[in-house]
């Protein structure tokens, strides 16, 4: 849906607001959850929508507090005006602003005119190509028509704001070029989405899309994770019911191309699944559901799902790693470390041995952040051995990101041992690696560690300088996790200095950012700071 509100043009399909009374015209992105809140209110503007109804519609897959809804309402008012939405205390909200619905975009009107002109040519061409089309249709009729929805961007920054529509277009074009599958045009999909009353993403919604687009397969995707460590979650909606999977990839192109390969192999041929393929598909679905539960901090459910995936594929190293993370986040560190050590005995067939690298790094991380024994020095020495192995694997494959990560962990160990000069050398080297490929996330983490070394040496001005650099980098990329880490590290410093008011103010800023990010993990970490419990978790 597109509509005009005073001097603004709002496109709910693309998630953009254009301010028409300025030159040049300014365009602003609408945050994903805020966009969904706006859609529900606009589509139900004849009545009051209860708070619970909004929470159930927009955050149906998450357990969240009412504050996240309040934040989204605030963002709509900030963007479109304070009189846009009326609050009904203890009840809900209603859209009260007058809007002018714009059913057809200029681009679509242009396409319609072009199509009228093309009809004659198409009719003539059809006679000449009849035999060819009969042959093609005999093959294509056995294959499903595919439609990609806009990619949901769940990355914790604004660098990836281009992903929803451009990602959808990339997937559509690539699948069309690399397979015999028919693929719905991006404009057709966006128009269909625009004309369907999307109250929630239930079965009826996807059925309506299939009917409008004459598509047998609707592909829904969600991008999350961190740069060079991405997860592309996908759900395939067909007459067989929804099927889920997840792709782990170092970059967006790799993730999209792997999804295209999966679709080509799964639907681009009419062969039946073998038993091994069935088990693999089941494991991937259980793994994908496990990762979703993990991201929602439902670790008990995640543990069950990862174990289900491992029943059929016991050597799935990624599932073992996520299971270890789930166990660690439920404080079963002994079993988590044991599972990771077991993974190191299983062959890692990838060229870079990325899973063995991660297993070594995670064992070291757990030993650093959650002391288990009475001999802390021995524990840190053991952690150093595992981190050193991770470093060697990263260096052998020239993986700059994980070289930097291993340097950071070695720097932490040396800081905890009181070897500040050596710690500083490791962290400066990590910072240099992150800067070499513009890894903003890693730069922030290294600068925070350098600030902690300065604090340990009573060099508070130096610490503040590092914090300022870290905050600037986090703010420039609008990376919510990094903004929060900097604020909490500063809050730690002031709390240790008995400046409780300033510490609480910084932590409160972090909490507000966590709510804006709609992230249960970030909210939980900040609340842990207020509760005086460890804020570390395994990502």
More confident site: 389 or 285: 389
Does position 151 have pLDDT exceeding 70, yes or no?
yes
Compute the distance between CA of residue 338 and CA of residue 321 in angstroms, rounded to an integer. Answer: 11
Q: Which of 241, 271, 301 is a domain's end point?
A: 271
Q: Is residue 487 part of a domain?
A: yes
Does position 390 have pLDDT exceeding 50, yes or no?
yes
CATH number at residue 71: 1.10.10.10
Residues 482 and 535 in one domain: yes
Q: Tokens 């409160």, residue? A: 508
pLDDT digits (tens, 9 = 90+) for 483-497: 999 999 999 999 999
**Could you tell me if 18 and 9 are in contact, meaning their C-beta atoms sit under 8 angstroms apart?**
yes
What is residue 255's predicted lDDT score, i.e. its pLDDT? 92
Angle at 155 between CA 196 and CA 327, to 5 degrees: 110
Q: Is residue 522 part of a domain?
A: yes
Q: Which of 36, 66, 101 is a domain's end point?
A: 101
Whole-angstrom CA distances from 283 to 316, 359, 381, 397, 416 are: 9, 20, 37, 28, 40
Compute the distance between CA of residue 162 and CA of residue 169 in angstroms, rounded to an integer. Answer: 11
Residues 148 and 244 in one domain: yes
Compute the distance between CA of residue 165 and CA of residue 149 in angstroms, rounded to an integer. Answer: 9
Residues 196 and 249 in one domain: yes
What is residue 274's predicted lDDT score, i.e. its pLDDT? 47
Q: Which two tokens stand for residue 239?
A: 């007459």
**Could you tell me if 181 and 145 are in contact, meaning their C-beta atoms sit under 8 angstroms apart?**
yes
What is residue 118's predicted lDDT score, i.e. its pLDDT? 44
Q: Is residue 10 part of a domain?
A: yes
Q: Which of 50, 70, 101 is a domain's end point?
A: 101
Q: Is residue 161 part of a domain?
A: yes
Residues 92 and 151 in one domain: no
Residues 158 and 263 in one domain: yes
Q: Is residue 119 part of a domain?
A: no
Number of domains comprising the chain: 3
Does position 420 have pLDDT exceeding 90, yes or no?
yes
Residues 95 and 195 in one domain: no
Residues 148 and 240 in one domain: yes
* Mean per-residue pLDDT, 380-387: 97
What is residue 206's predicted lDDT score, i.e. its pLDDT? 86
Q: Which of 194-208, 237-251, 369-383, 456-470 tops mean pLDDT?
A: 456-470
Q: Is residue 349 part of a domain?
A: no
CATH number at residue 516: 1.25.40
Q: At what angle do helices 252-267 and 163-178 cross, to 10 degrees?
A: 40
pLDDT digits (tens, 9 = 90+) for 21-72: 777 878 888 887 888 899 899 988 888 899 888 888 887 656 566 777 888 8
CATH number at residue 192: 3.40.50.10610
Residues 168 and 257 in one domain: yes
What is residue 18's predicted lDDT score, i.e. its pLDDT? 87
Domain that holds residue 148: 144-271
Give the mean pLDDT of the chain.
84
What is residue 71's predicted lDDT score, i.e. its pLDDT? 80
Closest CA to 309 of 297, 319, 298: 319
Does position 184 have pLDDT exceeding 80, yes or no?
yes
Residues 150 and 79 in one domain: no
């Amino acid at each position: 849906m597109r509509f005009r509100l005073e001097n603004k043009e709002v496109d709910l399909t693309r998630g953009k607001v254009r301010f028409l009374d300025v030159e040049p015209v300014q365009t602003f992105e609408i945050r994903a959850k805020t966009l969904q809140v706006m859609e529900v209110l606009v589509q139900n503007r004849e009545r009051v929508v209860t708070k619970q109804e909004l929470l159930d519609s927009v955050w149906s897959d998450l357990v969240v507090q009412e504050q996240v809804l309040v934040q989204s309402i605030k963002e709509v008012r900030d963007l479109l005006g304070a009189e846009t939405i009326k609050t009904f205390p203890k009840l809900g909200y209603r859209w009260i602003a007058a809007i002018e619905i714009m059913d057809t975009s200029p681009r679509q009107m242009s396409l319609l005119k072009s199509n009228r002109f093309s009809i004659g040519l198409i009719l003539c061409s059809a006679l000449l190509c009849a035999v060819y089309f009969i042959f093609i249709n005999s093959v294509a009729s056995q294959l499903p028509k595919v439609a990609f929805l806009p990619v949901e961007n769940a990355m914790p920054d604004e660098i990836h704001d281009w992903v929803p529509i451009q990602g959808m277009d990339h997937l559509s074009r690539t699948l069309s070029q690399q397979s015999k599958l028919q693929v719905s045009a991006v404009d057709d999909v966006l128009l269909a989405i625009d004309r369907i009353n999307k109250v929630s993403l239930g079965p009826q919604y996807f059925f309506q899309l299939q009917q409008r687009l004459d598509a047998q397969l609707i592909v829904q995707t969600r991008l999350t994770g961190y740069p060079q460590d991405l997860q592309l979650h996908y759900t395939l909606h067909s007459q067989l019911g929804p099927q889920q999977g997840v792709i782990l990839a170092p970059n967006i192109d790799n993730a999209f191309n792997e999804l295209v390969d999966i679709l080509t192999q799964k639907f681009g041929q009419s062969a039946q699944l073998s038993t091994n393929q069935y088990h693999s598909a089941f494991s991937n679905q259980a793994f994908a559901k496990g990762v979703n539960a993990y991201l929602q901090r439902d670790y008990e459910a995640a543990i069950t799902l990862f174990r289900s995936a491992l029943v059929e594929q016991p050597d799935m190293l990624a599932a073992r790693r996520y299971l270890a993370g789930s166990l660690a986040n439920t404080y079963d560190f002994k079993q988590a470390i044991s599972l990771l050590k077991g993974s190191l005995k299983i062959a890692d067939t990838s060229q870079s041995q990325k899973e063995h690298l991660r297993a070594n790094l995670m064992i070291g991380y757990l030993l650093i952040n959650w002391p288990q024994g009475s001999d802390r020095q021995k524990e840190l020495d053991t952690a150093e051995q595992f981190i050193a192995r991770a470093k060697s694997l990263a260096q052998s494959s020239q993986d700059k990101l994980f070289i930097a990560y291993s340097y950071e962990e070695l720097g932490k160990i040396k800081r905890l041992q009181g070897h500040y000069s050596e710690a500083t050398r490791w962290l400066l080297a990590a910072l240099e690696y992150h800067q070499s490929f513009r890894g903003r996330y890693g730069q922030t983490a290294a600068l925070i560690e350098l600030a902690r070394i300065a604090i340990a040496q009573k060099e508070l001005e130096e610490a503040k300088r590092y914090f300022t650099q870290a905050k600037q980098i986090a703010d420039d990329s609008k990376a919510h996790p990094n903004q929060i880490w900097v604020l909490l590290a500063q809050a730690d410093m002031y709390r240790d200095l008995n400046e409780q008011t300033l510490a609480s103010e910084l932590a409160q800023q972090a909490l507000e950012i966590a709510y804006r990010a709609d992230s249960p993990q970030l909210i939980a970490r900040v609340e842990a700071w207020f509760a005086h419990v460890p804020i570390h978790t395994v990502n």
